[in-house]
Amino acid sequence: MVRGRGDEVAATTNADSGTGTGIRIDTDRCVGAAMCALNAPEVFTQDDDGVSRLLPGGAERARDTAVREAARVCPVQAITLHGT
């Protein structure tokens, strides 16, 4: 099984303030537990190797309760939220 093909990152930027929200998945750390995809299936999915991946538009949902919960329950703390 191949893992760790680079972090998965999605971010938004507010051009006026230079701030934004973002989600980062440390794919080297991910163990494919699927808790993220179960908690926030509109943001997270898994590739053929079980590694978590972000779906398009995920960064806009970084503040969603489901996304925060996904980061909280990840057993290896592979998900980092920014600007939330």
Residue closer to ligand SF4 (CB basis): 21 or 36 = 36
79 Cβ partners below 8 Å, 6+ apart? Answer: 23, 24, 25, 26, 36, 52, 70, 71
Per-residue interface string for the shown chain with ligand SF4, residues 19-58, x marking contact by CB under 6 A: ------x----xxxxxxx---------------x------
Residue closer to ligand SF4 (CB basis): 9 or 33 = 33
Give the nearest distance from C-beta 79 to ligand SF4 in angstroms. Answer: 5
Footprint on this chain of ligand SF4 (rule: CB under 6 A): 25, 30-36, 52, 74-76, 78-79
